[in-house]
Amino acid sequence: MFHGRRGRLTSGLLLLEALVAVQSLVVATILPDIRRDLGMVQLYGLTFTAASLATISSIPIAGRAVDTLGARRVLLPVLLVFSAGLMVAATAPAMPVLLVGQFLIGAGGGGLYALSLGTVAKTFPDRLRPRVLALLATMWILPGLFGPPLAALLATTVGWRWAFAAPLPLVVIAWALITPALDLVPPPEHMDDTTLPVRWPLQLMVGAALFFTALTIIRPWAIAMLAAGVLVGFPALRHIVPAGTFRAVPGRPAAAISAFLLSAGFLAMDAFLTLMLTRVRRLSLGEASIAITAASVTWALGSLWQSGRAERVPLPRLLRIGTVLILGGEIAVTATLDASVPLVIAFVGWAIVGVGMGISFPTIPLATMRVTEAGEESGQLSAVLLLDFLGVATGAGLAGSAVAVAKAVEAPLVRGIAGAFAIGLVALLVLLWTAGRIPDRPAAPEEAPTP
């Protein structure tokens, strides 16, 4: 993986993964300082939403572009969009301009994600793919440990704008590493310069914006907004994902819906874990963050364990093992909503969830890679990646709605969080069924081009 030009390619892909990880973690850290400088607190939440919506629309577009135009022709435009977002955000004079920057960062980040996994599928043989995916997972550990403190240091010394500007040289380094090695990526058999199908991704973005915004509004008229989001977004989604996805048809459709369920089941709890530990169990924010850090480490360990077994253990079995671990860990965390349950169980449970995610998360794209058609790897993988991000938004959105409803009816916060956690547990129970339907066809015994 690290020899010759393939080594340059691997190093560049890992650097891109780290850049996207750092940026997603840094914004949450420095946003209070940004709000203090730019004002307009009513746009605070949209800072995250803008990036997420852009990612949803850019993943299928970039995936199709890699298949039809080639990775070499897609890499530079995607990096330029990502860099433009960093520069716009770094120089933003007002919050609406920062939202534009965040939108561009999300669009570039989604494109980089689709290009990265598509390149892995096209370039690396099946025996190396689990190791590459495990390495990509480890790229979230250091950003998780050092990204937020470094961002806070920049914000309190030279200013928050440098948190956006500092990654720009690393973007150039990643481009310099990857570009010379892109001849290892098989080019499209027929270069296609026709217009990319952008209608459905953009329509999905609009529908998702309506749907997830409505989930946060506890008003009667929000039901109409919710319905409008479904009517606009669902037909677009059906044009993007594999046929049979919503029936979990064995193969790629089951892998796609499994990606959705995994992320929804995880985020429904992850989004409110810190709130539970601080508001229900009365820990400090620093004490609660230990659980997040521990899960980041165990996630990487789970990925490393999975990478050593993906060749000889059926992938449906690996996904079920990971799902059972996540389910057991989340049940343990849910139990600590009861004040009589020792709090250490929450920390142990969340560490177990990290192991389960480390096993499950790379298994789904790996299963998809084994059945992708030659020349269409990026486009077919992008459907799985898209549903992964939709699962993130849906899990967090539905969980947030449960908490908002509890507040609206003046119920205790613990009941709202219990409802949020229940949503995650239900998604994971369904995943136990769909896990057995993901593909596990042995890869053909071909070898990627020798560097």
Residue 124 CB contacts under 8 Å (≥ 6 apart), including other chains: 1, 6, 132, 448
Tell me which range, 38-52, 165-179, 209-223, 355-369, is most confidently predicted by mean pLDDT.
355-369
Statement: residue 372 has pLDDT above 90: no
Statement: residue 50 has pLDDT above 60: yes
pTM reported for the whole predicted model: 0.84
Residue 224 CB contacts under 8 Å (≥ 6 apart), including other chains: none
Dihedral sign for Cα atoms in the order 142, 11, 19, 398: negative
Statement: residue 91 has pLDDT above 70: yes
Determine the pLDDT at residue 41.
57
Confidence of residue 423 (pLDDT cuts 50, 70, 90): very high
**Window from 137-151, 204-218, 293-307, 397-411 with minimum mean pLDDT:** 137-151
Q: What is the mean pLDDT of the chain?
A: 86
> Any idea which residue has 């949450």 for tokens?
28
Determine the pLDDT at residue 189.
66
Region 225-250: mean pLDDT is 93
Region 399-406: mean pLDDT is 86
Spatial distance between the Cα atoms of 26 and 14, rounded to a whole number of angstroms: 18
Spatial distance between the Cα atoms of 76 and 21, rounded to a whole number of angstroms: 19
Residue 409 and residue 281 in contact, taking contact as beta carbons nearer than 8 Å: no
Spatial distance between the Cα atoms of 383 and 390, rounded to a whole number of angstroms: 10
Statement: residue 230 has pLDDT above 90: yes
CA distances from 215 to 99, 298, 420 (A): 21, 32, 13
Residue 23 and residue 109 in contact, taking contact as beta carbons nearer than 8 Å: yes
The greatest distance separating any two alpha carbons of the chain, rounded to the nearest whole angstrom, comes to 65
Determine the pLDDT at residue 132.
87
Residue 427 and residue 257 in contact, taking contact as beta carbons nearer than 8 Å: no
3-state secondary structure of 1: coil
Determine the pLDDT at residue 28.
64
* Residue with the larger pLDDT of the pair 56 and 418: 418
Instruction: Give the other-Cβ count within 10 Å of 285's Cβ.
Output: 9
Dihedral sign for Cα atoms in the order 226, 231, 232, 236: positive
- Nearest in space to 432 (alpha carbons), one of 194, 157, 248, 170: 248
Confidence of residue 144 (pLDDT cuts 50, 70, 90): low
Spatial distance between the Cα atoms of 46 and 95, rounded to a whole number of angstroms: 10
Tens of pLDDT, residues 264-312: 999 899 888 888 998 899 888 678 878 887 888 899 899 999 999 998 8
Spatial distance between the Cα atoms of 118 and 266, rounded to a whole number of angstroms: 24
3-state helix, strand, coil in the chain (%, to 5): 80, 0, 20
Statement: residue 413 has pLDDT above 80: yes
- For residue 127, the 8-state DSSP code is T
3-state secondary structure of 82: helix
Determine the pLDDT at residue 140.
72
Statement: residue 106 has pLDDT above 60: yes
Task: Give the type of residue at 219.
Answer: R
Spatial distance between the Cα atoms of 170 and 368, rounded to a whole number of angstroms: 30
* Residue with the larger pLDDT of the pair 259 and 67: 259
**Domains, the chain, with CATH or none:** 1-187 (1.20.1250.20), 241-440 (1.20.1250.20)
Confidence of residue 195 (pLDDT cuts 50, 70, 90): low
Determine the pLDDT at residue 186.
80
Region 213-232: mean pLDDT is 86
